[in-house]
Structure 1
Amino acid sequence: KQYYTVVFKAEDSNLETPLVDLRNMNVVVLGPSPDMPNLIPASNSITVTWPADTCLPVTGYQVYRKIGPAAYVPDSCTGGVPSETGYKLAGTTEDRLETIFVDDNKGSGLEQGNEYCYMIVSVYPDGALSFPSPENCTPLVEGTPSMLEVSVTDHSASGTIRLAWAKPEQLDTIPANGPYEYIIYRSDDLLGQSMAQVGSFTTADLNDTTWLDNTVDTQNFPWSYRVELYNNEAGNRFQIGSAESASSLYPKLTGQDNQMVIEMKKNVPWINYDYTIYRLNQGSGSFDSIGFTTDNIFVDEGLSNGVEYCYRVTSTGWRVLNDKLYENVNFSHTACGTPVDSIAPCPPSLNGHSLCDSSYNHLMWNYPDRSCAEDVVSYKLYFSPTFEDPPTVIAEFDDPYDSTYNHYPEIALSGCYFVTAIDSFDNESVPSVRLCLDECSNYALPNVFSPNGDGINDLYRPQRTSYVERVEMTIFNRWGLEVYYTEDPDVNWDGKMKGTDRLVASGVYYYICDVYEHRLTGLEVFALTGFIYVYSGDDNEVFIETK
């Protein structure tokens, strides 16, 4: 996982003027890729197996899954499976010899009608990942009977869904001589997790391959079905094969700004290769075709926010059973939704500077490109005194053209700001790039004062004390004797000798001052040193000689 630094030295063979060059290179060691996994599909799960990695330090494996192949070619310096491949982690094993993984989508089951691809990555003790294995792909296996249609034919609270399946073949090899019984189960979800029997019928020749589910609500949610086939011969009743489930097609709607996102939700064992989208015409009362797509998502643009739109979808699909091609058409439920602006505007660009003498920060923001912020109606300005403090709102602006602000902080001029934009649907943008200001040195000491009782400059005070919490200041005479000490940021030295009521003599004095000031990192201390020229009008020098 760590990089190793290798130094290359090149030296020529010229004895008179030998030249040398040094180059550094970082080297990362990656484990070899595991072998291609073997896939054993079932009707709603896939068992993934692979040979154990021959590298003994391996502590386990990561199993990645994707719908459809990625044709990923690993970079020579990249371990694991990058997210841009579309692969997602399906699970892990915790030992080098643990090389079997059953993928049932964490108990929810894999959806039929997809080709599932897998790659394996070895994991090392320090968390390093190997190159990924070659990918391998497989569909799920078909059930008996094999479903072909779950189609809504009547859209109402007491509507109808039509089921159809392929006629089972080659039952003489079991043998299953009949008569036969079909039992139909239904569940009010896509994955068939709460199946309950809703019908059955018997047949002598298996030519009956359709069934109508009447008086079912086809308005509010999708339905899943499972059809089980039994040999119903007296004294020899048994289920033939393993049943599979299939759901009705349900258009899931997500309203966005002046558009509707239509996602085709289904769990079916066939492959849908295109979808035709219909939208209700409020004038005629009929559903008009507005487009088609080969993807699972279609976006209907140019709509009006706040207006309800209703949709239906027709899918066209296929599957191959016993080397025979079956094609099908299925009609979806009706779904209605309303476009709303749920997309936040882009953040403004924030600038600013400090005006130290005036004790405020001047802030301004704008949009270099307003195409992503056309309906901005207000702004919020956030402030945090230090890098670590959480930001709080210090001002809100209801005018989108009000884009300047003067901030007078209470503690210090240092601090960090960001601004957000809010649109007409109350969507708030992500924060702008944070602007941190720490430009002002807020404490300056004069180098002269005259405590002579004339009422002018009789106290020694700093030129600025803003945002200083305290000081530790000691003043010495030229012999190193302490004449004054204070922790008051205003100092307020009246020129008198420490512990006495007598003025110090005129002359030069030296000071050391530790200033505790609020900055971006918090309360910081910095040292000031310098000289003070004192004109007291008193020539009495205080000097204590020690022997």
Structure 2
Amino acid sequence: MEFPGRALLMRNVTVDRTATSAGQITVRWTKPRSTPAFADPQQFRVLRAQGQGGTQTFTQVGPLITVAPNTNDTTYVDADPSLDTQNRAYTYKVEFLSQNVVTETATAASSVRLEGTATPAVSTTDLNTIDVRWTYNVPWDNTRQPTVIYRRGPDPSGPFVRIGTATSTATGGSYRDQGTATQRLIKGQTYCYYVETTGTYNNPEKLPSGLVNLSQQQCIAVRNVPCAPVLRLQQSNCDSLASRLFDLPATPLSGPVYTNRLSWQLSTTPADCSRAIAAYNLYYAPAGQDSLRFLTTVPATQTSYEHRNLSSEAACYAVQAVDSSGTLSALSNRACKEDCQLFLLPNIFTPNGDGKNDTFRPKVFTPIRRTHFTVFNRWGVKIYESSADPLINWRGGGSRSEGGASPSVVEGVYYYQAEVEFGDVANTKRTYKGWVQITR
């Protein structure tokens, strides 16, 4: 049903008292008008839901409110003993009843919710900062007037003072507090904040404007930065491995599988760092020039990690300490390693179709990008050449490609040259020459 006149409009949902219980929020709205006038009795029903939107369940708070004559706005102070304004936001809506029938429902409006994160200085040239963020879900426009930020601290008994303003969006805003030139934010101290938004409806000549709403108070501690870890990545002894290739186990047909082993300990950087660590974040890059990305988190009791099932041991790592409040240390040193370049071909293979040792391929190898393989008979005549398979997999054919049928070469000794391009970052290239005996 539609009536000529003014709609029922929410205008305030402001936090009066911040507390985990017995918090207080004041709700105001502008009563509807119609021609002809609404029939008595005229009443309002206030409903509340937890959160700022999404799927919400609204329940009535307080008794029905009888419409006062000759007034435009109505106020309800929600001081429910269970109201937790410290940790939760709330959304309110109001229903207008005429002759006990819901005639209009105002668009719901939430309280302003404030959160914050402290970033302690890691070095003497950095500043301690606190980033505060606020959100809301309201039918009015908070973008036309700046949001005012207030702070108290480090003296917990001192007053709140205005420290700055910020432009809000349709859903919230943010502000970075770096202190002032004469009063910087101090590690080990706690600072409390609230914000004041000022909203208006899109037609302020006919609709309410100057809608001032306060967030809850949010206190944030600037903690000492956790000590930065010092990382060690176990390196492979490539020279030792290369000197005993014939003693190494055969590389699986599917390719090598590696495990990188990391260990770390806390440093004393910065000088006032905290050793109260809750966890460690590990970061990984598959190659030296790649950016680090998050790998995993381990508990503070663990100061080592095995990164398993890798197709290449080439990688870089870093570790970051985290305290119980989520404060992060500086990243550790970046520890990197490269693949060894190992390649060993056998001296005999038996391409007789029995499924055993039917192809000529490396016995030991590390990641390979490309192999150009050439075979010669004892008189130096080239009988086979291919770059199709990095692992060669020659079947003893005499054609120059693996495609189609190829005549088998006779038993005997043949000489090869393998020009191998390894899969490392440097694209290392090496040439291997040798002989192989074919027995059928």
> Scaled by the length of structure 2, what TM-score is found?
0.51
**Structure 2 CA distance for partners of 1:167 and 1:477, relative to 1, 3 Å:** closer
Tell me if the contact between 1:420 and 1:428 (Cα under 8 Å) persists in the aligned partners: no
Question: Offset of 1:423 from its aligned partner?
Answer: 5.7
Aligned position for 1:278: 150
Give distance in 2, aligned partners of 1:265 and 1:343.
30
Give distance in 2, aligned partners of 1:388 and 1:247.
58
Alignment of 1:113-512 (within 5 A): 144-156=7-19, 157-169=21-33, 171-173=34-36, 176-191=38-53, 193-199=56-62, 200-203=64-67, 205=69, 207=71, 208-215=73-80, 216-232=83-99, 237-257=100-120, 258-272=128-142, 273-283=145-155, 284-295=157-168, 296-301=173-178, 303-305=185-187, 307-320=189-202, 323-325=205-207, 326-339=209-222, 356=239, 389=257, 392-396=260-264, 415-422=313-320, 427=329, 429=331, 436-439=338-341, 512=415
Question: Offset of 1:340 from its aligned partner?
Answer: 5.5
Give distance in 2, aligned partners of 1:399 and 1:181.
67
Q: What percent identity do the matched residue pairs reach?
A: 23
**Structure 2 CA distance for partners of 1:193 and 1:354, relative to 1, 3 Å:** same
Q: Give the secondary-structure state (helix, strand or coil) at the position aligned to 1:241.
A: strand
Give distance in 1, aligned partners of 2:258 and 2:413.
42
Aligned position for 2:388: none
Corresponding residue pairs, total: 288
C-alpha distance after superposition, 1:162-209 (max 9, x if no partner): 22122323x115x52333101111222222812111122112536152
**Structure 2 CA distance for partners of 1:339 and 1:144, relative to 1, 3 Å:** farther
Give distance in 1, aligned partners of 2:268 and 2:414.
53
**Structure 2 CA distance for partners of 1:144 and 1:432, relative to 1, 3 Å:** farther
Tell me if the contact between 2:118 and 2:130 (Cα under 8 Å) persists in the aligned partners: yes
Matching residue's letter, 1:221: R
C-alpha distance after superposition, 1:67-125 (max 9, x if no partner): xxxxxxxxxxxxxxxxxxxxxxxxxxxxxxxxxxxxxxxxxxxxxxxxxxxxxxxxxxx
Give distance in 2, aligned partners of 1:468 and 1:477.
27
Give distance in 2, aligned partners of 1:443 and 1:400.
50
1:529 equivalent in alignment to 2:434: yes
Alignment RMSD, CA only? Answer: 5.2
Tell me if the contact between 2:46 and 2:93 (Cα under 8 Å) persists in the aligned partners: yes
Question: Offset of 1:398 from its aligned partner?
Answer: 5.6
**Structure 2 CA distance for partners of 1:477 and 1:297, relative to 1, 3 Å:** closer
Give distance in 2, aligned partners of 1:178 and 1:415.
81
Question: Offset of 1:219 from its aligned partner?
Answer: 2.7
Give distance in 2, aligned partners of 1:196 and 1:186.
5
Tell me if the contact between 2:154 and 2:190 (Cα under 8 Å) persists in the aligned partners: no
Tell me if the contact between 1:162 and 1:211 (Cα under 8 Å) persists in the aligned partners: yes
Tell me if the contact between 1:256 and 1:343 (Cα under 8 Å) persists in the aligned partners: no
Tell me if the contact between 2:318 and 2:335 (Cα under 8 Å) persists in the aligned partners: no
Aligned position for 2:251: none
Higher relative contact order (CA 8 A, sep 6+): 2
Which blocks of at least 5 consecutive residues in structure 1 are unaligned? Answer: 1-142, 361-385, 402-413, 446-465, 470-475, 479-508, 532-547
Give distance in 2, aligned partners of 1:520 and 1:275.
56
**Structure 2 CA distance for partners of 1:442 and 1:510, relative to 1, 3 Å:** closer
Question: Offset of 1:293 from its aligned partner?
Answer: 0.6
Q: Which has the larger radius of gyration?
A: 1
Tell me if the contact between 1:438 and 1:520 (Cα under 8 Å) persists in the aligned partners: no
Q: Give the secondary-structure state (helix, strand or coil) at the position aligned to 2:35.
A: helix
Give distance in 2, aligned partners of 1:217 and 1:359.
67
Aligned position for 2:369: none
Give distance in 2, aligned partners of 1:395 and 1:322.
64
